[in-house]
């Protein structure tokens, strides 16, 4: 036998926008439903032996999943009609650097740390050769005094930004995923670059305190299609690579160089929050293209 139930939510924060619903046996009833629809209320048909539902909420950044068990209970129709939605947002003062081992981490979520460098050239177009970046990467041991302590840190050589985008108004490398060059392992090194569905993975090296990488070229398919799309996740990320206009396939020929009178380099760290990046200067060696 089955029964019909009505689901409405009474409280939710602004960060919560999408939900999924499962029954007590783990069966997915609805894979994606907006908060607005749940505020209005929906009806579902479930088996009689289902005693509770699991409401999974995903925040805007899609990194902090929350699950709530909702027992199935009996209320009157009038109680359902009288139910009013109330926004639930707790005001708080965010304190930075209380834990020197965490940086781009807010409310338990890793948020992207990004730096974008613009370069402009003179009369002639110039061809970008490589990227050389003097960034210090620090890792901290647990603090003794409760605040950031330079005596409790070490500098790393095998950590860096994990993503990069190089572009100008008509060209783009697409999304480059950066990984430390394998040492003493020729077989692993020859596996790069790796061509993924929506990115390309390349190596970086660190020598004389300079991070350096190359192995990039223009992969734009159509100049009449935008290179970026507007981000829907966060206002701090003003644009995302338009993956439908990028060709990440392996190319033996037609490797179009990044060539123009300007170029922009965007570095991104979004896979960890346990390192402190201190960028000092960046160089983008280029040669004149007559």
Pick from 87, 122, 147: which residue ends a domain? 87
pLDDT in tens, 221-248: 999 999 998 865 555 567 889 999 999 9
Does 96 fall in a domain?
no
Closest CA to 69 of 107, 23, 30, 35: 23
Instruction: Verify that 22 and 122 share a domain, yes or no.
Output: no
- Report the CATH number that the domain containing residue 50 is assigned in CATH: 2.60.40
Q: What span, in angstroms and rounded, lies between the C-alpha atoms of 138 and 97?
A: 14
pLDDT in tens, 115-169: 999 999 888 899 999 999 999 999 998 877 666 677 888 999 999 999 999 999 9
For residue 33, the enclosing domain spans 2-87
Does 100 fall in a domain?
no
Instruction: Verify that 78 and 114 share a domain, yes or no.
Output: no
Instruction: Verify that 121 and 180 share a domain, yes or no.
Output: yes
Cβ-count burial 74-91 (b if 16+ within 10 Å, e if not): eeeeeeeeeeeeeeeeee
pLDDT in tens, 88-107: 766 666 676 677 788 888 77
Instruction: Verify that 204 and 81 share a domain, yes or no.
Output: no
Q: What span, in angstroms and rounded, lies between the C-alpha atoms of 69 and 52?
A: 7
First to last CA, the chain: 79
Closest CA to 258 of 127, 138, 163: 127
Q: What span, in angstroms and rounded, lies between the C-alpha atoms of 161 and 24?
A: 42
Which phi and psi angles does 272 have, rounded to 5°? -160, 165
> Running DSSP on this structure, what letter comes out for residue 150?
G
Instruction: Verify that 68 and 129 share a domain, yes or no.
Output: no
User: Radius of gyration of the chain from Cα atoms?
Assistant: 25
Instruction: Verify that 61 and 137 share a domain, yes or no.
Output: no
> Coil, helix or strand for 152?
helix
Instruction: Verify that 76 and 118 share a domain, yes or no.
Output: no
Instruction: Verify that 125 and 264 share a domain, yes or no.
Output: yes
Instruction: Verify that 78 and 119 share a domain, yes or no.
Output: no
Average pLDDT over the chain reads 85
């Amino acid at each position: 036998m089955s029964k019909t139930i009505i689901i409405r939510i009474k409280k939710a924060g602004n960060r919560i926008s999408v939900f999924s619903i499962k029954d007590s046996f783990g069966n997915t009833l609805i894979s994606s439903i907006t908060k607005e629809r749940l505020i209005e209320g929906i009806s579902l048909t479930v088996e009689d032996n289902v005693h509770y539902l699991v409401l999974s909420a995903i925040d805007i950044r899609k990194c902090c999943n929350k699950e709530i068990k909702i027992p199935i209970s009996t209320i009157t129709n009038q109680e359902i009609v009288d139910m009013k939605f109330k926004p639930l947002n707790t005001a708080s003062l965010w304190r930075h650097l209380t834990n020197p081992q965490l940086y781009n981490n807010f409310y338990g979520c890793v948020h992207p740390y990004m730096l974008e460098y613009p370069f402009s050239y003179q009369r002639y177009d110039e061809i970008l050769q490589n990227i050389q970046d003097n960034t210090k990467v620090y890792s901290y041991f647990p603090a003794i005094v409760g605040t950031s302590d330079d005596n409790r840190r070490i500098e790393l050589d095998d950590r860096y930004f994990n993503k990069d985008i190089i572009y100008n108004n008509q060209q783009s490398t697409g999304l480059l995923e950066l990984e430390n060059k394998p040492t003493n392992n020729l077989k692993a090194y020859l596996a790069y670059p790796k061509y993924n569905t929506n990115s390309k993975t390349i190596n970086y090296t660190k020598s004389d305190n300079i991070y350096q990488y190359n192995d990039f070229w223009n992969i734009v398919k159509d100049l009449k299609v935008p290179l970026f799309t507007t981000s829907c996740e966060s206002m701090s990320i003003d644009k995302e690579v338009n993956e439908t206009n990028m060709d990440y396939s392996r190319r033996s020929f037609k490797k179009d160089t990044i060539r123009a009178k300007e170029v922009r380099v965007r570095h991104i760290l979004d896979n960890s929050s346990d390192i402190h990046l201190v960028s000092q200067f960046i160089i983008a060696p280029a040669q004149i293209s007559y």
